[in-house]
Amino acid sequence: MIEEVRRYRQAGWFQNEVGSDQEVAKRARERWWAEWESEVDTSGPDDGIFICMAGPERAIWFDPESDTCEENETYTGVLQELAALSGGDLVITDVVENWGREPGRVFVSCGVNGASYELALHQYDEWVDPKIVAQLNAVLPGDGGRFYVFDGGGQAFGITWATSDEAESLMAHGRALLLDRAPDVWPGIR
């Protein structure tokens, strides 16, 4: 884990973490244990779990299976959680979910940094449409921060906010594969 922390730090992550690589790795391991009650396995491909647990200010662990329905206002919560990753660079306001406009769809209108947008998402039973990542990125300026997904091949995945330079650095220093859309495990919902 110490080597993982070192690689992520070289890529610009954990800048707010105080201490040596060993101290940061120890805290990351403790956070991991509290969440998963198992040892961290850093021998496989980096699917974002480690960075989500080790650097929660920079990434979230996103499981699209989340009791999504009109009553729960799930998309409102997801958008707020994603905006929080940006450190104030992305301001999302006035979120309104419309579940009745078209069968099988959810239309989410919101303000993004002062401009009005509508996201057209699919209803998949209780699942959040992971296409929300690509749709948000489509309305963001190309030269600033955006959302990247750690592609680990499973249903859940890590999401981070980074510039393209930061994302390239993370991929160059570690084993992470970052995408600006949902992983290919979601082939039918691009």
Question: Of residues 108 and 26, which shows the higher confidence score?
Answer: 108
Over residues 44-86, the pLDDT tens digits come to 655 566 666 666 677 888 888 878 888 889 999 999 999 999 9
Which amino acid belongs to residue 163? Answer: T
- Let me know: does 127 contact 155? Beta carbons within 8 Å: no
List the 157-162 sheet strands across, edge first.
Answer: 59-62, 157-162, 146-150, 178-179
Winning range, highest mean pLDDT, from 58-67, 107-116, 148-157: 107-116
Only one residue has tokens 């919902």, namely: 189
pLDDT for the residue numbered 25: 86
In this prediction, residue 4 carries a pLDDT of 80
Find residue 74's DSSP bridge partners.
Answer: none
Cα–Cα dist 149/3, whole Å: 22
State the average pLDDT over residues 152-166.
82
User: In 3D, which of 61, 58, 68, 65 has the Cα closest to residue 163?
Assistant: 58
Q: What is the pLDDT of residue 70?
A: 86
Amino acid at 83: A
State the DSSP code for 181.
S
By CB atoms closer than 10 A (0-12, 13-18, 19+), residue 170 is: buried
- pLDDT for res 124: 80
Mean pLDDT of 166-178: 80
Strands (E), 1-104: 59-62, 92-98
Per-residue confidence at 166, pLDDT binned at 50, 70, 90? Answer: confident
pLDDT at 100 over 90: yes
